[in-house]
Amino acid sequence: MTTETSERLATGAQTTLAFDRELWAEAMRLAWTTNTLRVGLAELRFPLMRLPAIADAFKQRLAGSSSSDLAPLQDEFAGAIAELVQAGEELQAAIAALKRIVHELPAESDAE
Task: With respect to residue 84, please indicate whether it lies within any of the assigned structural domains.
Answer: yes
| Residues 39 and 78 placed together within one structural domain of the fold | no
Provide, rounded to the nearest whole percent, the portion of the chain with pLDDT above 70: 79
Q: How far apart are CA 58 and CA 69, in angstroms?
A: 14
Task: With respect to residue 112, please indicate whether it lies within any of the assigned structural domains.
Answer: yes
| Residues 55 and 76 placed together within one structural domain of the fold | no
Range of the domain at 111: 70-112
pLDDT of residue 6: 57
For 86-96, what is each residue's pLDDT tens digit?
Answer: 999 999 999 99
Q: How far apart are CA 64 and CA 92, in angstroms?
A: 39
Task: With respect to residue 102, please indicate whether it lies within any of the assigned structural domains.
Answer: yes
